[in-house]
Structure 1
């Protein structure tokens, strides 16, 4: 690219021919001399060059057969109109020194356009040659910096060196999560009061820490999360329970999901009975106890014949015992029969993706797919008392069940629940 002053806007390119031998000073002198006074004082070449509006005149000549041929380049910082007038004035020069000559303007180059073109071409070259293809995008750079900051903020707390955020000691409220990745993900979104326990074996230091803090157990939305909650409830002082969405881990959540899960945390008193409820065991009727009770009834001594007035009272008491005791045994047998029926339903739907609607004796009234269960519950007529299905127990299903007076809901596993209706008994397959 032609070298020029930083203020140059245009470059006048002209060609010159002369019928004789001439040199550069002759050409420059002719340009200044023959244009003097031609264009007025505002466009006098000498004044323009002194003020820097016209640059150094470049002349290149070659001699051949006694004649001179060459080019003239004049840089200009004038506007378009003034530059064109100056270019036209050059063509009025018809004699240089003793020789007849001719100057013809070839073109007026916009230097800025040339610079822009050169910049584009050079930028392409730099992009290809100078940049390594492995240079990360700005988002990747930002993520790398954030990850570095999160790693630096991560600390290790207690004698077990549990991964934790930097505010675990200073904060009045803490989050207990499962693993190191969970803590790092929470740090990513500015949550610095989380601590990881590393599994279902809760360290003793966590139990001690929970006594002085408001503690929220924030667990994954899977079976492992349930087991951790159960263990925490046994050994630590937990105030709230929050769960990730079904099938997701805390380390996978984005900011919106984390905020939603923590807003929907449930006071532990509402769900303690669910998580700590022992697995129901089969109750067998003790045949020896039943026979003993029956014998006690049949061996009740009769009153003396001399006291007929009192004969009715002992006989009535004996009859009451004879009725009451067998009826209690009968109730136990009925309860056991219904429980066995419910277990059979669970065994039959487990792994099938099927839902069954049951009556009060846990007999099947209707069978449908899990996907149709919510709509099926909405259409109930009041005879259905229980639902057993091979799927996740969600808050929506429990709300529908409560409005339809369904007494028992049994699913494969428990989802993220905000509130368990008081009139609905909730169980998973493992607890039936």
Structure 2
């Protein structure tokens, strides 16, 4: 391993240790999200991590286009709110949702076609320095929408991902899952009471009823992804941690449990 790769790994490990799980939804956040008078809102966990790399510790991830109520309440306590979002349609969708439920002050965007998690230190600093007042950002979003309508009136309708789908694909990208469509289709077609598990190569390990999922996982040594139509309990989470499962898709979780940062959870 090259020295630069070693340094990057050490840096990543340190920053991973700084990420906290905040609020009832266990949202990824920087360690100063409550104490800092300013707040930066981002899309996902990888964005929080990238900001930690440049010393920004007051960010929190919405984890989708539906803004959690806990973030709406947190916003009310802050002096200044900045949304730092991807330079794509997904970032615009999240911005629109936030504007419907909360008052923010500034908007910073990654360059067009880039995601916040991909930006270099220099690019992130520049994007934050060039943040715009929310009124100006709103105007640009509307102008962009009108321009696209005029430019592409006859273009065939393309398959577009909803905000929630975009979050799922981003989670899977972070986990380096190459066949993301397989996971998406499995979730989409999941039947009532069904549970399905995959290994890291997305080979199906088992399909069963949720009532038997605990025993099935106990007998499995290769499970990395678990998708089930049910609620994640404290007992099941303990087994998931023990078996080093990296991704869970489920209906909900028991209120009292907290999800470790090393496990990605997508709520169906």
**Does residue 239 of structure 1 match 2:109?**
no
Take 1:272 and 1:265, find their aligned partners in 2: how far apart are those partners?
13
Deviation at 1:345, TM superposition (A): 6.4
CA distance in 1, matches of 2:149, 2:88: 23
The reply to whether residue 153 of structure 1 matches residue 18 of structure 2 is yes
Aligned to 2:95: 229
Q: Which residue of 2 aligns with 1:197?
A: 62
Match of 1:163 among 10, 28, 40: 28
Shift in alpha-carbon separation, 1:239–1:345, aligned structure 2, 3 A: closer
Structure with more relative contact order (C-alpha pairs < 8 Å, separation 6 or more): 2
Describe how 1:411-426 pairs up with structure 2 within 5 A: none
1:245 Cα deviation (Å)?
A: 0.3
Structure 2 match to 1:117? none
- Give distance in 1, aligned partners of 2:86 and 2:71: 19
1:217 partnered with 2:83: yes
The higher radius of gyration belongs to 1
Verify the 8 A CA contact 1:230 1:276 in the aligned structure 2: no
Question: Which residue matches 1:406?
Answer: none
**Partner residue of 2:183?**
none
1:220-260 deviations in Å (ceiling 9; x for gaps): 00000000000000111211001000110000000110011
Q: Residue 230 of structure 2 aligns with which residue?
A: none
TM-score of the superposed pair, with normalisation by structure 1: 0.33
Cα distance in structure 2, aligned partners of 1:139 and 1:236 = 42
- Post-superposition Cα deviations, 1:60-89, rounded to whole Å, max 9, x if no partner, equal xxxxxxxxxxxxxxxxxxxxxxxxxxxxxx
Secondary structure of the corresponding residue to residue 137 of structure 2: helix
- Give the deviation of 1:211 after TM superposition: 1.2
Match of 2:153 among 347, 363, 370: 347
| 1:24-423 to 2 correspondences below 5 Å | 136-213=1-78, 214-273=80-139, 275=141, 346-348=152-154, 350=155
* CA distance, structure 2, for counterparts of residue 233 and residue 242 of structure 1: 14
User: Deviation at 1:174?
Assistant: 1.3
Q: Displacement, 1:202?
A: 0.4
SS state of the match for residue 167, structure 1? coil
In structure 1, C-alpha distance between the alignment counterparts of 2:55 and 2:126, rounded to whole Å: 15
Structure 2 distance, partners of 1:345, 1:275, is 15
Distance 1:139 1:271, change over 3 A: closer
> Per-residue deviation at 1:276?
7.1
Partners of 1:254 and 1:183 in 2: how far apart? 14
- Closer, same or farther: CA 147–274 of 1 in aligned 2, 3 Å: closer
Q: CA deviation at 1:191?
A: 1.2
Once residues 254 and 144 of structure 1 are traced to their aligned partners in structure 2, the CA distance between those partners, rounded to angstroms, is 16
Report if the CA contact (8 A) 1:154-1:166 is conserved: yes
- Structure 1 residues 345 and 269, CA, compared in 2 at 3 Å: closer, same or farther? closer
Once the two structures are TM-superposed, the CA of residue 269 in structure 1 deviates from its matched residue by 2.1
**What is the CA–CA distance in structure 1 between the aligned matches of 2:60 and 2:34, rounded to whole Å?**
10
Structure 2: gaps (5+ residues): 157-268
Provide the aligned length of Structure 1 versus Structure 2: 153
